[in-house]
Amino acid sequence: MVELARREDVAAMAEISNWAAVHTSANLALDPEPLAQWLAAYDATHERYPWLAARAAGRLEGFAKAGPHHVRGAYAWTADTTVYAHPDCRGRGVGTALYARLIELLEAQGFVTLCAGITGGNAASEALHARFGFRRFGTLHRAGWKFGQWHDKGLWELALRGEEAPGELRPVAAVMR
């Protein structure tokens, strides 16, 4: 089941992300990120940007979240997105379920463009994003040095609306059903 993440879910979300940071190049963090950093990000953004949790049998199987693309005002209608599945749950549709709900909520809120950065060689993430209509529009070469080599970052975007002027963004709570 995919639902809004609660503050008490953030520790498990950080654990999943930190596992990827330690074991893969999909997450370009060099060290595990402290829980305090995750909690501060949640507290600062969860009312405007969805944080979602996928649960089964009381266990957090994955998460997806959005956040600001840039802080300057004109970027307000653009959001960065991310999705992670617990390593034991990959290939079971967890990421697909999370992204379907995340994109639905962001569109209902009035966001216009979604962005994702995917470390080169992460075919599963590229396929997931392509399935939802994201398109790769560029590459940031040598974006990160990890595991003794450079990693490129693919830049992906999804247009949710056309060229018309954007409307007012709605908070997450206003679009939940």
The CATH number of the domain holding residue 19 is 3.40.630.30
Q: How confident is the model at residue 115 (pLDDT cuts 50, 70, 90)?
A: very high
Q: Residue 27, SS3? A: coil
Question: Is 19's pLDDT higher than 80?
Answer: yes
Asked if residues 63 and 9 have their Cβ atoms less than 8 Å apart, the reply is yes
How does pLDDT run across 21-77, given as a tens digit for each residue? 999 999 999 999 999 999 999 999 999 999 999 999 889 999 999 999 999 999 999
Residue 177 confidence class, pLDDT cut points 50, 70, 90 = confident
Q: Averaged over 119-138, what is the pLDDT?
A: 96
Which uninterrupted H or E stretch holds 124? helix 123-131
Calculate mean pLDDT across residues 158-176: 95
Statement: residue 142 has pLDDT above 90: yes
H/E element, 74: none
Name the pTM for this structure: 0.95
pLDDT at 23: 95
Q: Is 48 helix (H, G, I), strand (E, B) or coil?
A: coil
Average pLDDT over residues 113-136: 96
- Output the pLDDT for position 10: 98
- The pLDDT confidence band at residue 91, using thresholds 50, 70 and 90, is confident
Q: How far is 43 from 90, CA to CA, in rounded Å?
A: 28
Q: Average of pLDDT values for 134-141?
A: 97
Parent domain of 40? 2-175
Number of domains in the chain: 1
Cite the beta strand spans of the chain per DSSP E.
Answer: 2-4, 51-56, 59-68, 78-85, 113-119, 135-146, 149-159
Mean pLDDT value across residues 96-106:
97
Distance of alpha carbon 22 from alpha carbon 25, whole angstroms: 8
| CB proximity list for 39: less than 8 A, separation 6 or greater | 7, 10
Q: Band of the pLDDT at 94, cuts 50, 70, 90?
A: very high
Residue 90's pLDDT band, with cuts at 50, 70 and 90, is: confident
